[in-house]
A and B are shown apart, each in its own frame.
Chain A
């Protein structure tokens, strides 16, 4: 339960970190909060030759309002800071509601926003939230930047579109459309454990009270965050009645691709998905109405 030896560098500028990765990217890992990386190193499931510790890069630790009214979050921002920031609660209430479900305060004090995304654990909350919020990720390497949509970033189990010489530096979250309600729910044996299933729901209503757009994104439901587009599509243009919610929940349970594991069979996860989809949609609709009626 001790990590294998490695070389350690803690550059004091992002450029220096990117230079290290461009020279040694293939055998290097970026160390941010380390709350997933160090456990796998303790188990010797990962034995990087070089750790590039980015914790000195204060320039990657920020939360600010973007020009379009959305949010910009630096990759090194601790999850605990995101949890407590009033700007996040106002501009991205779905994200605010979700953070307390991530592990425990001891973990969130170290764990970073970008680290959880780059780790790409399909059982983690933040990747699903990023997809639901249509977040965009800024990836940087020595030559320059590129932006990737959250849905395109996650390629498979612990796999992303990050190249070995790139660092995720910033996440841009667009503003929430008007008349939108949200809900995050997950089922876990104990608070803070990996969820057996979880869902992020967003519902936007039009002036007539019909569904303009719904989004349903699941964690622990496949090898990446799974968006149930068909289920959400059943709601579009409809009144979100109890019958419509039941139909959408049924469709979502078919659309997800969960694996059986020690804690739950795939069938049981589908059952749980059906139940929490209904609850999440009802809560989201309640919140739109809460907003529109003031």
Chain B
């Protein structure tokens, strides 16, 4: 019953090959097998959004996907966002400046939801932003500062020269 299966996948551009039990969730695989603990595990039934990662470029819940299903696919986690140590992705920078996080537990899920959202919606309305984050729970901020951060990141993304510096 505890047979293991070989999976080959790419995580943040790096190829990995591992033996996994089929019941291993992708979220636990990322955290425990690969040591990528930026992906947070909240509810483990697909409600809170903390474990959101990109699966072939699209945001998904990694707690309701088995690692064995990622065989042959590309996964992107929050660790891939910042260009280097001491540097932040523009969306992370906006979260920091706007107080878009307090405890930070939900933040990786928000970021991985919002990065592809902003690519598709460079000029989102407040309503669109609130819809986009409706699948991510934050128990600290009341969402207002998160919405502010998304607005700021979108503004800078559209006109980097105007708002920089």
Contact = CB atoms under 8 A, between A and B. Distances in A.
A192 B3 CA distance: 37
A105 B2 contact: no
Interface in B18-39: 21-23, 25, 28
Interface stretch (A3-11, A137-145, A167-175): A3-11
Contacts of B134: 104, 190-192
Given A1-B45, A35-B61, 16 more contacts: A2-B25, A3-B23, A3-B25, A5-B22, A6-B23, A7-B3, A38-B65, A41-B23, A42-B64, A105-B113, A106-B49, A106-B60, A109-B59, A110-B61, A191-B130, A192-B134
B90 interface: no
Nearest to A37: B64
Contacts of B46: 35, 38-39, 107
Interface in A63-89: 80
Given A4-B23, A42-B44, A53-B69, A104 B58 contact: no
16 contacts: A2-B44, A34-B64, A34-B65, A35-B46, A35-B61, A38-B66, A39-B64, A42-B63, A51-B22, A55-B69, A104-B134, A104-B135, A106-B59, A106-B135, A107-B46, A107-B135
Task: Classify the interface of chain A: helix, strand, loop or mixed.
Answer: loop
Nearest to B73: A55
A60 interface: no
Interface of B is mostly: mixed
B1 interface: yes
Interface in B85-114: 113
A5 B59 contact: no
A91 interface: no
A17 to B, nearest CB: 15
Interface residues of A, number: 30
Interface string A3-28: 11111101000000000000000000
A7 B1 contact: yes
Contacts, number: 87
A110 B113 CA distance: 14
A35 to B, nearest CB: 6
Q: Which 7 A-B pairs have the closest CB atoms?
A: A104-B135, A8-B22, A39-B45, A1-B44, A38-B64, A109-B58, A3-B23
Contacts of B58: 80, 109
B44 A192 contact: no
Given A42-B63, A109-B55, A109-B59, A6 B22 contact: yes
A171 to B, nearest CB: 23
A103 interface: yes
Contacts of A43: 45
Nearest to A106: B59
B52 interface: yes
Contacts of B16: none
A110 B2 contact: no
A105 B135 contact: yes
A125 to B, nearest CB: 15
Contacts of A55: 69
A8 B46 CA distance: 21
Nearest to A51: B22
A104 B25 CA distance: 20
B57 to A, nearest CB: 10
B153 to A, nearest CB: 18
B68 interface: yes
Contacts of B135: 103-107, 192
Contacts of A39: 45-46, 64
Nearest to A188: B134
A41 to B, nearest CB: 8
A104 B117 CA distance: 12
A258 B10 CA distance: 47
A8 B59 contact: no
Contacts of B131: 191
B132 interface: yes
Given A1-B44, A7-B1, A104 B64 contact: no
